[in-house]
Amino acid sequence: MLIRKSADLRYSDVTPQPTYLNRRRFLAGSIALGAFGGLAGTARAGKIEDFKKTSYNAGDEKVTPLEAITHYNNFYEFGTDKEDPSKNAGNFRTSPWTLKVEGAVAKPLTFDHDGLMKIAPLEERIYRHRCVEAWSIVVPWIGFPLNALLKQAEPTSKAKYVAFESYYDPKQMPLARWGGIQFPYVEGLRLDEAMHPLTLLAVGLYGDALPNQDGAPIRLVVPWKYGFKSAKSLVKIRLVEKQPPTTWNLSASNEYGFYSNVNPQVDHPRWSQAKERRLGELFRRNTLMFNGYSEVASLYAGMDLRKNF
């Protein structure tokens, strides 16, 4: 495993593996596709040398251009406009870093920045990512299944839920105070959701370590749930007995439920979830149940998803 850290390294130096970007297709494609290139030299993330490809390919859907993935973010710690995180997260310190796994586990674990990359073998998975605001992207994440980490920690019989906590430092994140939500950002999953093989801890995307604005150095990715469930910049993973509080639910419980599975039939109280705009496309496309990941349906067998939204 080699993580090169270099201020001089630009995305354009390391990215163009044709399998990702397939730029010809973009350039030849319809309006609003194409030259997402000419990337800003702000990224300092290093290239990830060693990861294996997988068959997770989001049904061969076109991967969203890196420029969109890194310049259209909801990361309220760095401001509420979509471009704010790309502007303001540049100097965010992700090293040193500490991630703790604690709570109802036989073996509490602690990882430092370099340790994050060695928790489990890294693999690339291309996932659809659907925001609760009805836009979506397709991201080539690099990471490992969360269950690989949880198994190392050995959850006890009391572990029923997993609570996630994001980093928060008002000094590094002065704009967070205007976000209108509570910090540190917290999220949660039921244990079986967390153990599902689709649930990922991502440390990179597009072949690089995660850009700061996308949740460096490590973040959750739950592709069948709305994007806000996939908490960024994790510092704590705690196994607990009771359903943990989650940030957006605390902010507006009638709008953001604990489950927040992508569901075209259950609207957000203020807008429809039936369709979404894939970044780079002109018109809206239909949203798929569980964001197209129907293999998770059995997790919710017998549950009223209207009530447990």
| Residues at the site binding another protein, with contacts judged by CB under 8 A | 26-27, 29, 31-36, 65, 67-68, 71-72, 76, 80, 82-83, 133, 135, 178-181, 251-252, 270-272, 277, 279-280, 282-284
When the beta carbons of 199 and 246 are compared against another protein, the nearer one is 246
Distance from C-alpha of 158 to C-alpha of 135, rounded to nearest angstrom: 37
Min CB(296)–another protein separation in Å? 26
Min CB(178)–another protein separation in Å? 6
When the beta carbons of 193 and 214 are compared against another protein, the nearer one is 214
Distance from C-alpha of 266 to C-alpha of 132, rounded to nearest angstrom: 11
Question: Three-class SS string for 231-254?
Answer: CCCEEEEEEECCCCCCHHHHHCCC
Min CB(172)–another protein separation in Å? 19
Q: What are the structure tokens assigned to 47, written together?
A: 């290239």
Q: Helix, strand, coil % (nearest 5) of the chain?
A: 25, 25, 50
Each residue of 49-63: b (16+ CB within 10 Å) or e?
eebeeeebebeeebb
When the beta carbons of 65 and 103 are compared against another protein, the nearer one is 65
When the beta carbons of 6 and 272 are compared against another protein, the nearer one is 272
Min CB(180)–another protein separation in Å? 3
When the beta carbons of 1 and 35 are compared against another protein, the nearer one is 35
Min CB(278)–another protein separation in Å? 10
Count of Cβ atoms closer than 10 Å to residue 141 Cβ: 25
- Measure CA 42 to chain center: 20
